[in-house]
DNA sequence: GCAAATATAATAGTATTACTATCAATAATG
DNA sequence: CATTATTGATAGTAATACTATTATATTTGC
């Protein structure tokens, strides 16, 4: 994407101190994206992150309450960024069908680097979304955290795309169900392709995932 | 389901000592199903389970290497049990379409108690599948564990249903992708209905989830 | 340009977790 | 009834997920 200097806004409830407001904050975000990828979320700790970025863990605790809220911060950033991409990519398209098709593509395709956000590696972040993001809301605290608005950026993406579905077929009864199925599904399939290929049908070279979910959506709402 | 006394076989790699071979084993399984539901997998520990069932944690460690393999054991049992239900329910149906429809229903409907397996509460176990099962294979050890066959019962269900799809439409290119999308999707939607209703379209009383995925499958393969 | 406020570093400490190890007591089995 | 297997009781350990305190930079407001 272009070299605009845009800032993605993340709800302040997700941090104690805004990581986008200091150099240490940037290092925390950039370092955590790398380290979570490297170790996996369970093995990742603030101690190890501190060692990596050369700061004590106590400093990281001044930005984030826990590694769990840091992960929510990252996913929240990601979904806001996806929404921005969505709006950007469909801005001048008039046909609702073309708009939805383009949107499904963005939601299901592999992510490319976006130079607009210097310290965030979107490709690695997408890998975290694929591998770790289910852990964000599969906890005993979901209801609490949902009330505090922790998942609003994800819900907003689902809502925006659901509205596009309704634009095409106002009588369709399950837009949110369809779109969340597609988003979660595409991530799952990308994960399966790498780790549990028996559960998917991904061939090298071809991107079956985009095709499969595009077909699925248009057949479902017809 | 009927009162047959059938034993679900779980791969021996998943335990150190077969929990189905002793009374303590049964208490571990029954107790863990209750306690994981109550506390959530992260907060659940063998210490707490030991207190609940009146045995020291060291005894539990003689059955399972870790709480992670215990969870895999539970999900593995569940998918074997689902497969048995699938076979049972479609045994005398000749029409491939009826068979698939019945199958999708079983995969997406709420679970009912099955008296055949006395010490296992299938309804609670299904709640664990819905809430915790993604954690089973979203770890750094997936590839390793997959090679050891830890996920074979789940893969077998997907394979069986994929074959039914191919029976109806032998040219359909993405059977595994479709079926794993449906299974994971239905579980996700049930979770969303309870905790993140903005992501789904479930109304009280009606079971939209079964309807939605049944439609989706038949439209996709037509 | 300097005091005051703020951010970060350095270090220490704690309850809990996820185990492993050892030995005694009990129950099952041949 | 002697042997073997199973469970209980107890202890111990490194790592985790924090909290707290004090010292040292760095920024900022006047």
Nucleotide nearest to B61 (CA to C1'): C19
- Whether B97 is in a domain gets the answer yes
The nearest CA of chain A is from the CA of B89 a distance in Å of: 23
- In this structure, what CATH number is given to the domain that contains residue A131? 1.10.357.10
- Residue A135 CA neighbour count, 13 Å, CB half: 23
* Nucleic strand C within 7 A of Cβ A62: yes
- Whether B1 is in a domain gets the answer no
Q: Who contacts A164 (Cβ-Cβ below 8 Å, separation ≥6)?
A: A96, A99, A100, A103
Name residues 185-204 of chain B within 8 A of A (Cβ).
185, 188-189, 191-192, 195-196, 198-202
Out of A140, A198, A219, closest to residue B219 by CB = A219
What residues make up the domain containing B205? 12-221
Q: Which of A117, A119, A148, A10 is nearest to A70 (CA)?
A: A10
Q: What is the mean pLDDT of residues A135-140?
A: 97
Query: Which pLDDT tens digit goes with each residue over B6-63?
Result: 788 999 999 999 999 999 999 999 999 999 999 999 999 999 999 999 999 999 999 9
Separation of alpha carbons B167 and B178, rounded Å: 14
pLDDT at residue number A5: 59
User: What does the DSSP 8-state code read for residue A212?
Assistant: H
Query: Which pLDDT tens digit goes with each residue over A106-129?
Result: 999 999 888 777 789 999 999 999
Phi, psi of A87 (to 5 degrees): -60, -45
Residues counted in chain B? 222
- The continuous run of DSSP H or E covering B146 comes out as helix B142-147
Q: Determine the 3-state secondary structure of A181 from DSSP.
A: helix
pLDDT at residue number B4: 55
B198–A176: do the CB atoms touch at under 8 Å? Answer: yes
Q: State the total domains in chain B.
A: 1
- Whether B127 is in a domain gets the answer yes
- Whether A4 is in a domain gets the answer no
pLDDT band with cut points at 50, 70 and 90 for residue B1: very low
Query: Which pLDDT tens digit goes with each residue over B167-206?
Result: 999 999 999 999 999 999 999 999 999 999 999 999 887 8
- Whether A6 is in a domain gets the answer no
* Nucleic strand C within 7 A of Cβ A16: no
Separation of alpha carbons A202 and A106, rounded Å: 18
Identify the closest residue of chain A to B150 by CA–CA distance.
A196
Query: Which residues in chain B have Cβ-Cβ distances shorter than 8 Å to A176?
Result: 198-201
The nearest CA of chain B is from the CA of A23 a distance in Å of: 30
Separation of alpha carbons B200 and B214, rounded Å: 16
Name residues 90-149 of chain B within 8 A of A (Cβ).
131-132, 134-135, 137-140, 142-143, 146
Q: Which of B107, B221, B96, B100 is nearest to A212 (CA)?
A: B221
- Whether A134 is in a domain gets the answer yes
**Residue A187 contacts residue A135 (beta carbons within 8 Å):** no
Phi, psi of A103 (to 5 degrees): -65, -45
Name residues 2-61 of chain B within 8 A of A (Cβ).
39-40, 42-43
Query: Which pLDDT tens digit goes with each residue over B98-142?
Result: 999 999 999 999 998 887 777 899 999 999 999 999 999 999 999
Q: Which long-range contacts (CB under 8 A, 24 or more apart) does A84-92 make?
A: A84/A6, A84/A8, A85/A1, A85/A114, A86/A157, A86/A160, A86/A161, A88/A1
């Amino acid at each position: 994407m272009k070299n605009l200097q845009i800032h993605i806004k993340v709800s302040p409830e997700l941090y104690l101190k805004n990581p986008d407001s200091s150099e240490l904050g940037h290092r925390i975000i950039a370092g955590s994206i790398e380290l979570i990828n490297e170790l996996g979320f369970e093995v990742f700790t603030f101690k190890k992150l501190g060692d990596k970025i050369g700061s004590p863990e106590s400093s990281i605790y001044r930005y984030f309450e826990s590694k769990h809220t840091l992960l929510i911060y990252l996913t929240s950033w990601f979904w806001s960024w996806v929404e921005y991409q969505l709006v950007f990519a469909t801005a001048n398209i008039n046909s609702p069908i073309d708009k939805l098709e383009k949107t499904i593509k963005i939601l299901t395709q592999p992510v490319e680097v976006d130079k607009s956000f210097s310290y965030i590696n979107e490709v690695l972040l997408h890998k975290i979304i694929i591998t770790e993001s289910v852990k964000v809301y599969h906890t005993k605290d979901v209801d609490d955290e949902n009330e505090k608005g922790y998942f609003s950026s994800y819900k907003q993406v689902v809502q925006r795309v659901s509205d596009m579905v309704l634009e095409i077929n106002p009588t369709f009864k399950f837009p949110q169900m369809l779109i969340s199925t597609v988003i979660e599904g595409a991530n799952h399939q990308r994960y399966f392709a790498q780790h549990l290929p028996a559960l998917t049908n991904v061939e090298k070279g071809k991107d079956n995932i985009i095709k499969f979910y595009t077909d699925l959506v248009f057949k479902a709402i017809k």
